[in-house]
């Protein structure tokens, strides 16, 4: 059989193989078997030495033309297979946006954060700035500037975590007020939210870590009436227009006079219930007029300026707001509890 007949046979066999090829891998095998180093067409070129010298140029040209023809067929088939493979891949990756799917579970804002947002919204609406400070605090700011010098008996009520003799985990956010009075000139109107620490027991109503929101106003001619009006506005904003405040005399070293503030029970609206122990009121915060000694220690003229301060326990008002009976529920990360606040 001559070279021309071999070329025809190789072409026919390759076309038949191309018709059956369905993958790029099969096509590569066909390309190697025909055009590779050991391929059928390459073998013909190697056999050129067996034909007369005068026929070699013409025969070499015929073989090269055949190579170009077969290469073009292979390239055409390769493009066809790539397109089909792409279509198959796209079909597998396609998403049916009309197919019903389970709604992914999303998180929720923590109840403490929900109430904190409302409280801050209330006070910023009254013109207060929000100020924060360090949780690890110097004794000087946490106690001394708040009229609680070394060995003062009121320090025992704070149950303090001491880092060393002069540094503590802050027992309240009042140090932020002291820092602000030292760095700003009156008028001052701020609220200080934050985490505080006390060496307290752990039960349904106590925790060694909790949150406070403290407020401070310093200006000329500030009175107890301004304090009461501010807290009335806060209570009505948070709990409704029918809520009233009740002040009871108390004592705090950094305020004089001082008071505990009760609000109309949110559960029974003053009628008396289990939550308020039949009194119709619930204690929610402490407050008072800033002690002149505190003003003077912070560089503010107490003969010209006066002010009031208050401290709200965030966990307490959150528990009252949502009827939560155990403070520990807010820190255990139980999804059954947290899902209720979506």
What's the CATH class of domain 111-341? alpha beta
Task: Give strand pairing partners of 290.
Answer: 255
Domain boundaries, the chain: 3-93, 111-341
pLDDT per position as a tens digit, 281-308: 888 899 999 999 999 999 999 999 999 9
pLDDT per position as a tens digit, 14-59: 788 878 888 888 888 887 887 777 777 777 777 666 777 776 777 7
Distance in angstroms (rounded) separating the CA atoms of residues 240 and 217: 24
Please give the angle made by the CA atoms of 144, 145 and 146, to the nearest 5 degrees.
Answer: 90
The pLDDT value recorded for residue 5 is 76
Residues 204-221 have a mean pLDDT of 92
Residues 51-78 have a mean pLDDT of 78
pLDDT per position as a tens digit, 246-267: 999 999 889 999 999 998 887 7
Distance in angstroms (rounded) separating the CA atoms of residues 190 and 132: 10
Total-model pTM: 0.67
Distance in angstroms (rounded) separating the CA atoms of residues 339 and 342: 6
For residue 24, which of 92, 80, 67 has the smallest C-alpha distance? 80
């Amino acid at each position: 059989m001559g070279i021309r007949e071999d070329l025809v046979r190789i072409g026919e066999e390759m076309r038949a193989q191309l018709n059956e090829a369905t993958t790029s891998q099969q096509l590569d095998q066909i390309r190697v078997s025909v055009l590779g180093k050991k391929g059928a067409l390459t073998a013909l070129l190697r056999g050129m030495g067996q034909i007369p010298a005068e026929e070699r140029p013409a025969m070499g040209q015929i073989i090269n033309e055949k190579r170009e023809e077969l290469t073009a067929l292979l390239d055409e088939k390769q493009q066809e297979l790539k397109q089909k493979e792409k279509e198959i891949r796209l079909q597998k990756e396609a998403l049916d946006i009309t197919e019903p799917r389970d709604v992914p579970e999303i998180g929720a804002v923590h109840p403490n954060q929900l109430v904190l947002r409302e409280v801050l919204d209330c006070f910023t609406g009254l013109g207060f700035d929000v100020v924060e400070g360090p949780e690890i605090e110097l004794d000087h700011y946490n106690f001394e500037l708040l009229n609680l010098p070394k060995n003062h008996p009121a320090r025992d009520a704070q149950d303090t975590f001491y880092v060393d003799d002069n540094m503590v985990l802050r027992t309240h956010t009042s140090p932020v007020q002291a820092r602000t009075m030292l760095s700003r000139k009156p008028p001052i109107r701020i609220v200080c939210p934050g985490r505080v620490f006390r060496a307290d027991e752990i039960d349904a109503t106590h925790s060694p870590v909790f949150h406070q929101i403290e407020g401070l106003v310093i200006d000329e001619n500030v009175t107890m009436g301004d304090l009461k009006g501010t807290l009335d506005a806060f209570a009505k904003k948070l709990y409704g227009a029918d809520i009233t405040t009740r002040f009871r005399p108390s004592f705090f070293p950094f305020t004089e006079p001082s008071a505990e503030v009760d609000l109309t029970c949110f559960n029974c609206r003053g009628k008396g219930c289990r939550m308020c122990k039949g009194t119709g009121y619930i204690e929610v915060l402490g407050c008072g007029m800033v002690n002149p000694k505190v003003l003077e220690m912070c560089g503010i003229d107490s003969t010209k300026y006066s002010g009031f301060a208050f401290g709200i326990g965030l966990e307490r008002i959150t528990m009252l707001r949502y009827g939560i009976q155990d403070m520990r529920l807010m820190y255990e990360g139980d999804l059954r509890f947290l899902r209720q606040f979506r």
